[in-house]
Amino acid sequence: MDPKNVIICRCEDVTLADLYELFEEGYQTFEELKRIKRVGMGPCQANTCGKMVQWEIAKYFKKPLEDVKFQNTRPFTLGVKLRSIKEGADDEN
């Protein structure tokens, strides 16, 4: 299958071809890929694409999967409306 047609990150529309292009330019880590192409930065927070990105890095650079670092995991796990956070804060006060 043409890597241009393989969507890796569904939130930010990043294809496998996009990843290959970055690999060829010398970007080798999840954190770098994320910053240039936004892979893993969308609403799902890499819950969908994270493992696939890790696999592709491992395959391309011929490293064992366990040596490929996952991206920094940051809050939130799930999107929450600002209004809900404010109402929660009001309830506590």
What is the contact surface with another protein in residues (CB under 8 A)?
29, 31-32, 35-36, 38, 41-43, 45, 74-76, 79-83, 85-86, 88-90, 92
Give the three-state DSSP class for 9: strand
**From the CB of 11, what's the least distance to another protein, in Å?**
9
**From the CB of 38, what's the least distance to another protein, in Å?**
7
Based on CB atoms, which residue is closest to another protein, 5 or 77? 77
Asked whether 42 and 79 are in contact (CB, 8 A), the reply is no
Based on CB atoms, which residue is closest to another protein, 1 or 75? 75
Rounded Cα distance between 4 and 72, Å, is 27
Q: Cis peptide leading into 76, omega within 30 of 0? A: yes
Asked whether 22 and 30 are in contact (CB, 8 A), the reply is no
Based on CB atoms, which residue is closest to another protein, 7 or 47? 47
**From the CB of 13, what's the least distance to another protein, in Å?**
11
Give the three-state DSSP class for 87: helix
